[in-house]
Homo-oligomer: A and B are copies of this chain.
């Protein structure tokens, strides 16, 4: 709670109750929620918060560099509180998105791409989780 407020303050974002609740909803999860999923979560605690405010807040957090968007699920942008580089694994059956640590994979050959200036990259994997 305190932590969320200080994150907002340190990015020059006024920590209003709506914004605190929205930010907390995204940070308090390992899932990669869509905007409407965040809204649902916020409404459980603060039923009067409007959809537009949640969308505005999420976009604000992205623009200020607090969150990143990922285009990994059909027809939906999802929000990722981890802004450090990492890879993604998407479960074919459940659609769940899992973060894969950056160091787990090494990509070689980037220098052969003479035509492109690569700003960022990630490996996107699809498959299923192994049963333990």
Using a CB–CB cutoff of 8 Å, the interface residues on chain A facing chain B are 71-77, 89, 92, 98, 100, 104-110, 112-130
- Whether A130 pairs with B117 at a CB distance below 8 angstroms is yes
Give 19 pairs: A residue, B residue, CB < 8 Å, sorted on A: A71-B72, A71-B74, A89-B116, A89-B118, A98-B116, A100-B113, A104-B109, A104-B113, A105-B107, A105-B109, A106-B108, A115-B130, A116-B130, A117-B130, A119-B127, A120-B125, A121-B124, A122-B124, A123-B124
Q: Taking the nearest CB of chain B, how far is it from the CB of A32, in angstroms?
A: 13
- Whether A126 pairs with B121 at a CB distance below 8 angstroms is yes
A67 to B33 alpha-carbon distance, docked (Å): 28
Q: Taking the nearest CB of chain B, how far is it from the CB of A106, in angstroms?
A: 5
Residues of B within 8 A of A124 (CB): 121-124
